[in-house]
Chains A and B, each alone.
Chain A
Amino acid sequence: MAHVACSPLRKQLILGNKSYADVTHDVADLLDQKPSALWYVGMFISVAMLALGVWATTYQLMTGIGTWGLNNTVGWAFDITNFVFWIGIGHAGTLISAILFLFKQKWRTSVNRSAEAMTIFAVICAGLFPIIHMGRPWLAFWVIPYPNLRGPLWVNFRSPLVWDMFAISTYFIISLTFWYVGLIPDLATLRDRTTSKIKKAFYSFFSLGWNGSNRTWSRYETVYMLLAGLATPLVVSVHTIVSWDFATSVIPGWHTTIFPPYFVAGAVFSGFAMVLTLMLIARKVMKLEEYITLHHIESMCKIIIATAGMVGLAYITEFFVALYSGNEFERFTFINRALGPYAWAYWTMVTCNLVVPQFFWSKKIRQNLTAVFVLVALINVGMWFERFVIIVTSLSRDYLPSSWAHYSPTCIEVATLIGSFGLFFTLFLLFVRYLPVISIGEVKGVLKYGRVATSPTETIHTPVRKEVAV
């Protein structure tokens, strides 16, 4: 496993010439301090959004999903768009934590903790939409196949919606486990630092008796590796199955074989845009610039270029094959997307997902944080519209022109979407307040990375601050 970073081209991952103790202090002190005013402002806005969502959800559950803009033709629209959008957001977290781990990408250590947290929160947001869509969420457990007394009523194993249930719940469990296992060494660090008895009891319980011995670390690394190996096929399976919700049908624009890899690439693409949004705010607000450096941001921008390229290739392929197929329904669907009543949504999608990421080819733009922030926000918008375009345009005008219909969302639907953002940000803000946002243990492992090559004689200096008594 030994990997030597010798090339002069390697950049330092952690700046500021930190010692090991500095890392512990920098990250753990954030949890001891009172939160900043900015945190309270953020929390206030998030909770307000969440409250709006709770109100909207309560209202639509009491009244029925007739409060949405759906009609006979367009039976899936806003809620499923939100579902796919949120599931997609989650994928970047697993990519960073599992796939980049398997590829031995050291820079992941500064961002993986919060990206994984983001995954979990995004999956929670995503899961809400199908449950609300059921209309009677208290019967949601009916999607689980188990011996029951409901007569011949049983799930249809050939339905991708059932596969969805399996894929997403497995994904949620594994993501949570992966995140928690990664947290254990840091929880032990917090346990050893804290002076409060309650906190100590809490951290002691959850750090599972971690003692930092060689054997513990070795077992831990094995488990982590195995979980990374498990999470990788899982993350691919989740969005693959989400894409099958559409692609197993015979609806033009939905039934296309490229959907599985295209959805996975799109998910990672949108997820990275969201990770960057969160990281740019977090590093600024929590003063983590030396941990989440420009190098990290540039790396993520490069992944966005790559995944945007894959998504772009899928757009072009779909359009091309629709023309090539000679099938008039296929051809119509794509021309309708570009020129029909939802053309504005289509061109928003193309601009945000195909054109905007190309700016990241420029190093100057990658290093301009304001520009990056604006561009990734646009990508988030674009990826939401991608799902909207796929779902709504194909349904609203399919084979029978007599049953064509237009869909537009109601304010209840918009309020539910806002509510999901509120939930997401509330959970994220709670996370940064109560758990270490940066993986202390893993960052220590890459502390010296890239330092040797720049100045061979330099040694890591001794701690300047005293360790808090434990």
Chain B
Amino acid sequence: MFERCNDKQRHLVKHQHHKPRHANVDSRFFGRKFTTSPSLERGLKASTIVGAAVFVIGLFIAPERAWPNALLAALYLLSISLAATAFLALLYVTNAGWASAIKRVPEALASTLPFGAFLMLLVLIGTPHLYEWSHSDVVAQDALLQRKTFWLNVPFFVLRSVIYLGLWVFFARKIVGNSQLVDRDGGDALREWKRKKTASAIFLVVFALTFTLASMDWIMSLQPHWYSTIFGIYNFAGMFLNGLAVITVLVILMKRWGPFEHILHGEHLHSLGKLIFAFSTFWMYIWFSQYLLIWYANIPEEVTYFVYREEGSWLVFTVVNVLFNWVIPFVALLPAWTKRHEGFLLRVCIIVMIGHWIDLFWMIMPPFMPNVPSVGIWELFPMLGVASAFIALTFRALARQNLVPLHDPFLSESLPLQT
């Protein structure tokens, strides 16, 4: 079941707290630095500029496609940072030890949250293009929308969005915050850890409430007649699944590119793989719960949501969505070896990442493309552009520090057991 610490590990533990000085930390954990190559940075910059340019052109040529895609791209990136923050918060509140060695990766993703928040604020400029309830003439002819104006009105909507984003950025800072400082001067790691644990617990409560409302505001109100109480949980499931996939991909890349060599081992991959497996199944569970209940009751207001998404080529998206987010990860990650196999896990994660994009597309686009879904230049280029910027920012955050958290109180539990 478990083993006693060997001398080396005990040595680490002993010196972590009594003398929080670098001198006592195993020298193998120093110099775990990640550096981006200039050519990669140039490529990302170029791709960002091209994406932004296409988006700006799209605003004039095809605003009905540019804005929904901007919303999709902003939500996709925001959700990665948010999932990483929630992942860290869960690690803190559950006293999880297994992930300490790799926690710099979710921290880097979480520290990129302001970028996603900024994108989301930009998207709010497009409110009139996105939300039919923002047009007073539409509302005037719609009795149901009139009853919703207490919630669905532009000033309150913008105010709420700013509050959600502000709270998330604030808590992400609290949770990631001084983590690097502890490494640098050896500060009081234990006290810092406890402070982060408290922040994490409060964040999880705030996050549950704000995320539910945010997903209803930003996505559900695109079809303002429709409502589903499970919607926030559905979005959380997809978001967290994708976040885990991104974390896993980055962790594997950090091993392949050097900093996590001899740090990342099968146990980490196995645990991440199990979480991806579990959340993929959780996503399917929530998807199915929503579908079954709406199908079964067959109430016109509700069922139109799925009618839209089952007609014509949209059915293809519905099927691919389920395939990428659940069927493939579920079957692929069922055996133990696939979860521990770096290359295999990497491929599954990429499928999940594409799957989450499809999931958001499937939720956001039908009102804008009622008959035929189309994926072309307006969909792909802006997404690639902001994704490149996001990658560049994440790489910068990763490069800022030693990638092994030297004084994490659980570090010794997370290191390779047989070196």
Contact = CB atoms under 8 A, between A and B. Distances in A.
Interface stretch (A169-177, A365-373, A447-455): A447-455
B229 A321 contact: yes
A324 B149 CA distance: 9
Given A250-B297, A446-B2, A452-B4, A258 B230 contact: yes
B212 interface: yes
B10 A261 contact: no
Interface string B348-385: 00000000000000000000000000000000000000
Contacts of A321: 216, 227-229
A244 interface: yes
Interface stretch (B80-88, B287-295, B311-319): B287-295
Contacts of B47: none
A326 interface: yes
B412 A255 contact: no
A64 interface: no
Nearest to B194: A9
Interface string B235-265: 0000000000000000000000000000000
A4 B2 contact: yes
Contacts of A453: 5, 13
A40 B410 CA distance: 47
A323 B151 CA distance: 9
A225 to B, nearest CB: 10
Contacts of A261: 230, 233, 285-286, 289
Interface string A253-264: 001111111000
Q: Which one of B293, B294, B412, B417 has the greatest number of beta carbons of chain A within 10 Å?
A: B293
Given A248-B296, A445-B1, A9 B410 contact: yes
B5 A452 contact: yes
A314 B233 CA distance: 10
Contact of A326 (B148, B190, B209): B148
Interface residues of B, number: 53
Nearest to B274: A102
Contact of A7 (B230, B297, B409): B409
A2 B212 contact: no
B208 A309 contact: yes
A257 B293 contact: yes
B290 A255 contact: no
Contacts of A452: 4-5, 10
A4 B293 contact: no
A8 B13 contact: yes
Interface of A: 1-10, 102, 106, 233, 236, 240, 244, 247-250, 255-261, 309-310, 313-314, 316-318, 320-321, 323-327, 445-446, 448-449, 452-453, 456
18 contacts: A4-B9, A4-B412, A7-B410, A9-B190, A9-B410, A248-B297, A255-B297, A257-B293, A258-B230, A309-B205, A317-B229, A318-B229, A323-B151, A326-B148, A449-B2, A452-B4, A453-B5, A456-B14
